[in-house]
Amino acid sequence: MAPCDPEGLPRDELVPSTEQPNPASSGIDIKSSQEIVEIIHGEDLRAWKTVGDALEVIASVVDQVVESFRQGGRMVYVGAGTSGRLGLLDAVECPPTFGVEPDRVCAILAGGDAAVHRAVEGAEDSVEEGRARVGAAGIRSRDVVCGIAASGTTPFVWGALEEADIRDATTVLVTCNPGWGAHPKAEVVDFVIAIPVGPEIVAGSSRMKAGTATKMVLNMISTAAMIRWGKVYDNLMVDVRPINKKLQRRALGLVSAIAGVDLRKAQDLLKASGGDVKTAVVVARSGVDVARAREILERHGGVLRRALEDEERGK
């Protein structure tokens, strides 16, 4: 479907590339299982290459998200169907992995919670609903709103981006359609991450390589932003929240490795620090008490490397 009045537009501009037939999968219904999975794999490799071509703009978005976080802002994904669920998936994984508040990275899904498990008919077609959901979320100028639309045409997403632009938030569009710029409101987008993966092996099934490429992009944005924001020490997730046995073991191992203590000592340090890995490490490495360790970390914006380097220089 065209995002605006289609009169005068050639047919190939009306149908997003993600919904056009793919010559590579012609006759796939009579292929063997081996042939089918080889075709899928080949198309997924194309998705991987396309994401690589967009790294410069992805890095620019990361910088903007980091600045937003430093100002107390949020990263808000907006999407419908597969795109919305991918945004939700990335958002819900951030708190346990990086120890951030649940609303620091969040998602607005067309159709609401019901759309997580099943399709909600017509939910993606309402510009007004997209605007209303952004308004209800209290989007502000320090927030980043990332619209996700494989086709680049989803009315719900464009309504959300328009409202976010009115509220002076930073706006991002992640799309697999190189023709997204034909949208009459294209000027409301500050950053466009275009990943033109081409037609799917089953025409229109953008949960395939379009979904794969989109998930790669969202993972890059959130992970790189968290790293730049100080949620990682070296390549270790030191802000992990030990909310289950697996993460408890991981936290224990982190304290032991970074602080250079045995597991029993690491367990004692973690208990005294309320399960906070970074506090436990500062206590062990700097020889201060828990309250002082927290003060040191706060002074350095929660960045463990800076806290340790500063304290070690002062010894």
Angle at 143 between CA 142 and CA 149, to 5 degrees: 150
Instruction: Give the span between the Cα atoms of 26 and 304, in whole angstroms.
Output: 54
- Euclidean distance between CA atoms 242 and 178, whole angstroms: 42
Contact 180, 198 (CB under 8 A): no
Looking at 101-152, list the stretches that DSSP marks H as alpha helix, in order from N- to C-terminal side. 127-136
Helix axis angle for 127-136 and 155-166, nearest 10°, is 40
> Residue type at 160?
A
Query: Which residues lie across from 76 on neighbouring strands?
Result: 106, 145
Angstrom CA distances, 240 to 204, 254, 304, stand at: 38, 10, 13
Is position 7 annotated as part of the catalytic site? no
8-state DSSP, 229 = T
* Pairing of the two strands 75-79 and 144-148: parallel
Marked catalytic residue, from 13, 19, 35, 124: 124
Residues forming beta bridges with residue 106, ordered by sequence position: 76
* Whole-angstrom distance, CA of residue 226 vs CA of residue 92: 14
Active site residue 124: yes
Residue 75's closest CA among 202, 205, 169, 167? 169
Q: What angle do CA 275, 264, 244 make, to 5 degrees?
A: 40
Where does 229-289 have alpha helices with state H? 245-259, 263-272, 277-286
d(CA 65, CA 73): 8
What's the CA gap between 293 and 203, in Å, rounded?
A: 56
Q: Active-site positions?
A: 93, 124
